[in-house]
Every structure is written in structure tokens, then in C-alpha cells.
Amino acid sequence: MLPTGKLLIGGQAVDGSNGVIRAINASTGAVVEPGFGGATLADLDRACSLAWSAFDFYRETSPEKRAQFLETIANYILDIGDPLIERCMIETGLPQGRLLGERGRTIGQLRMFADVVRNGDYIGARIDPAQPERKPLPRADLRLRHIGVGPVAVFGASNFPLAFSVAGGDTASALAAGCPVIVKVHSAHPGTSELVGRAVQRAVQDCGLPEGTFSLLFDSGREIGQGLVKDHRIKAAGFTGSRGGGTALMKLAAARPEPIPVYAEMSSINPVLLFPGALKNRAEGVASMFVQSLALGAGQFCTNPGLVLGVDGPDLDRFIAAASVALGETPAQTMLTPGIHKVYKDSIERTVSHPEVKTVARGVEPETPGQARAALFVTTAEAFRNHPDLQEEIFGASSLVVRCPDLTSVLDLIETLEGQLTAALHLDDSDHDEARRFLPALERRVGRILVNGFGTGVEVGHAMVHGGPFPSTADGRSTSVGSLAIERFLRPVSYQDLPEALLPDALKSANPFGLTRRIDGKLQLGIAVARENPGL
């Protein structure tokens, strides 16, 4: 199975005629065939029209049917086999092991959402029964469920070509919520995108769903991405990428005649806090874990540890020394695209020449021009406070250690940080009292707080938050990873005094889906809970 270079508009494969996107071999910089024809505005209009037509049918599919669809997508992605991994390695420069793992994560994510759909709790069904005898006024029968918001635009991410791209977390959660999806392909991995897109397209057909449930568009410029967010039939967007790109989409979405939510996951430097007890007892061990996390995947993770805060002194010196040694032995790695690599190199050069910053370590020299060297810098609390540019994310394996005079000044610095995805605390039992003082400031500022670990490695589960206050994401009330991500694409609708014959199945008195529902404010347990709590 090889890419053909065609757009997927509903059930069709179409030649795009608006410029050409060319895949680049990330390691060599060579062009890879075929070319991918860019979508025209007419292609965009047709995809939106099909998605809009599909919406009413698709959102009323039964839990079982929708769950099977998600599982079918997962199976068809697996069916592509080695050609998918091979194509993706070429386009992204990521190693095979990482991409096999990422495929597993993508499949697992789709299957998790299938479980979420079958369970049905996401529907949030509520019934307040009529009280015809209530005084002074009778109470009407009121029933509430959540439905999909409408067709969703998904922007593929460069750094997760499978798990946050065509059939990644945004697509899986939007489809689970009952929303058709139109993907704007990330031009860094067009062939990978087409292969996965064909798997989704085939699943749509085989499951008997309306063709507009899924489309995939290549964009040779910005016209299609912007047009998607502006189209009146698109009701939400999911994006993972740069702060500039994300905020541009937010502005477009807010300026529409009907504003829509954009769930943009943008930038984060993920502060690491080194508490005195941990530093004293195991500075070298923490430093080793830190460099592993920093260098993972050439540092191309949103949760990459880009900032380290610790109290100045011999123990922090030990940490810096050990981290410098480990980082100095870190091999150069190929970055996702020549463009990303160039931005990284420019940012590193700027930091190296920053008057208030000392370069304490660089990774091994690159063997090829596409490879990037890791970097470790040190500065003072005062300099960090006076130079807000030092807070800017450097996408890649670069981190800045800030020597702080005391723990209070660490906390003060935390209060100056912008919103973040994660904060990692390294602490021993003796640090608990100090660490407790930090939690309120961290809760206000980050989506995930972790102890004695690093933010890289985002578990796809039920208790995960991969989100955080602006600018780490557009909307800190949401997560883009984990089962809670489905809530981004839902809205509540209430039904008053509807005859049974007109009620949606989720709200019928007989409860045909066996849902857990809130009756008069109290949970009434459904089939799933009874199955999952056999002791009851």
C-alpha cells in the first residue's frame, strides 16, 4: 500500500489542483514521491458540505455501532502493516521502535474511545420527572443528553504523526462524540497521513456510515486550514502545534459570525522543581532521568522539560555537573523537518549568545546536516525574571537551569510563569512540607503535576490531563489526551415534555441503552456499572 497523492473527500479519492505538497526525507532532505495535490476552496466546500450532511445521521448511531466503527479504524490501521511504519520513518526521521509504540498508542486510543462510547456515561443523561401535583406550579418532565457539536476540523501535529494526526486523539474523541471530522494534513508527513486516511475512509464505507463522516485535505498554503476554521459548517477545531499557529486559529474562530471553540495545544516549558532533600540524596540520579527525558525523540515533545528550578548550592552544582556529563554523551538526532531543525538551531544560537545565560553542555556533534545537538544552559533567578524571552519554548532537546537563592524565590518564579502542561517535582519525604506550599500555585498554572518523574510519556487513560492554562492550550478547561477529551466536542440539549415516541433512545423511560442516568439529581446505575460492580 503506497500513497497516491490524492485528497480523500468523503468516499472519493480526488486529485488536488491547488499546488503540490512534497514529502521530504527527514534524514537526507531528499524529496520523496509522489506529490500531494493541494485542495482547492471547492474541495474544501465539498468536504464541509458532506460533513454537514453526515452529521445528523452519524451522531444518532447507536453506541455499539459507533464503537465498532472506532475499532474498525484501529484494525484497518494495523492492517496497513510495515508500509505505514516505513513511510512514517522516512517522513519524520523517527526510529522504528518509537513509531511502533506510537501506532500501539493510536490503536489503543481508538479502542479506549470505543469503550467510552459503549459505556455511554459521556452522554450525561439526566431525567427530572414531571411533578404534576407540585405547588404553586406543576413541574414539567425534563430530560437532558449531550450531542456532538457538529463537524470538527482536525489539524495534524508534526511531532505525533500517528497518535496526534489523522486518526489521533482529536479525531478519535471527535468521532466518539458523534462529530464528523475533516483533517487538514500536516505537510511534514503527507504520505503517512494519506495511508491512515484511507484506513478511516474504508472503515466509514464498511460500517455503512455516510461518506461525509471523514475527509482529508492537503493544504499547499494556509488557505485550506484557515478556510476550514472559518467555514460555517465547522463547529470546533482541534490543533496541536506552535503558539503562533494556534493563536492565529483562535483569532479566526473568535472573529466568525458564529464563534467556535478552538482546542489548540501550543507551547509549554514544563518546569522541573528540584527540592533540597531530593537534590541532596540523589542529584545524580535525577540528572540522569532528566537528560533521558530531555533527549527523548530529539526533545520534540510538548511535555519536554525545558526549565529546571533549584536552590543554588553544592547539590544543584552536582545536578548540573551530572546532567552536563550525560547530555555531553547524548547523540545528535534527526529532527522532524528541516524547518523545525532550523528554528531549533536559531533558538540555540540566540540562547548561547544571551548575555545572562551560560552554556554548560552540548550533545554529541551531528553526523549529518539534519541532526540536532542537545543543549543545557544555566542562568540566575534574577536574569530569568528580567528576561521574559527566556520563558519561550525551544522546541527540541534544550533546557535551562535557573539557580535560585532559596525556595521562596523558586515559588516567586513559578508565579511569574505562563500556563503550562506539566510541572514535575523531585522530592523526598523531608521535602513534603515545602512541596505542599507549592501545590496551589502549580494547580493554578498547570494541567498535570507529577512527582519524581518527568512529563514526557503521556498516558492515555481516564485520569490524564494533557492541557493547561493559556498559552499551553487555548482552553485550560479541557484535555486533548485521555477519555475526558471527548467532552470538548459535546453540548447539552434538554427535552421538555416530549412524548416517548419523540424522545432520543438515550432518554427513553425504558433506557434501551442501559445507561447510567441522573434521575432527579441522583445517579441511577446502568448496565455498565452493574457489570463493573458485580458485588452490588
Catalytic option among 71, 91, 265, 434: 265
Kindly state whether residue 465 participates in binding a copy of itself, applying the rule CB under 8 A: yes
Judged by CB under 8 A, the chain residues 122 through 151 that form the site for a copy of itself are 126-128, 136-137, 139-140, 142-144, 147, 149-150
Map the footprint of a copy of itself across residues 408-447, applying CB under 8 A.
Answer: 418-419, 429, 432, 435-436, 439-440, 443-444, 446-447
Residue 527 makes contact with a copy of itself by CB under 8 A:
no
Site for a copy of itself in 92-121 (CB under 8 A): 101, 115-116, 119, 121
Among residues 365, 510, 533, 534, the one that binds a copy of itself under rule CB under 8 A = 533
Active site residue 415: no
The single residue among 224, 469, 486, 515 that binds a copy of itself, judged by CB under 8 A, is 469
Smaller CB distance to a copy of itself: residue 342 or 477?
Answer: 477
Q: How far is CA 343 from CA 56, 197, 348, 379, 456, in A?
A: 44, 29, 9, 22, 21
Cell of 164: 496526534
Q: Which residue has the cell 494556534?
A: 246
Instruction: Work out whether 388 is an interface residue with a copy of itself (CB under 8 A).
Output: no
8 A C-beta contact, residue 74 and residue 110: yes
Task: Say if CB 192 and CB 156 are below 8 A apart.
Answer: no
Query: Considering beta carbons, is residue 212 or 476 the nearer one to a copy of itself?
Result: 476
Closest among 267, 321, 304, 264 to 475, alpha carbons compared? 264
How many chain residues bind a copy of itself (CB under 8 A)?
Answer: 89
Shortest Cβ 311–a copy of itself spacing (Å): 19
Contact 408, 437 (CB under 8 A): no
What are the Cα distances from residue 419, in Å, to 252, 272, 437, 445? 22, 14, 18, 5
Nearer to a copy of itself, 335 or 484 (CB): 484
Between 2 and 254, name the residue whose CB sits nearer to a copy of itself. 254
Pick the piece of the chain touching a copy of itself (CB under 8 A) from 23-31, 279-287, 356-364, 467-475.
467-475
Nearer to a copy of itself, 96 or 494 (CB): 494
Distance in Å, CB of 443 to a copy of itself, minimum = 5
Of 479, 480, 486, 506, the one binding a copy of itself (CB under 8 A) is 479
Long-range contacts of 463-467 (CB under 8 A, 24+ apart): 466/265, 466/302, 466/303, 466/421, 467/265, 467/421
Q: Is 491 in the site for a copy of itself (CB under 8 A)?
A: yes
Residue number, 41 or 463, with CB nearest to a copy of itself: 463
Residues 6+ apart with CB under 8 A from 350: none
- Binding a copy of itself (rule: CB under 8 A), the pick from 467, 480, 506, 515 is 467
Residue 268 φ/ψ region, left for φ over 0, alpha for ψ in the -120 to 50 degree band, beta for the rest:
beta
Place of cell 471553540: 261
Q: Which of 241, 306, 370, 476 binds a copy of itself (CB under 8 A)?
A: 476
Task: Pick the closest to residue 321 from 279, 351, 356 (CA basis).
Answer: 279
- As a whole number of angstroms, the longest Cα–Cα distance in the chain is 82
48 classed as catalytic: no
Cβ-in-10-Å burial (0-12, 13-18, 19+) of 380 comes to middle
Q: Which amino acids are annotated catalytic?
A: 265, 302
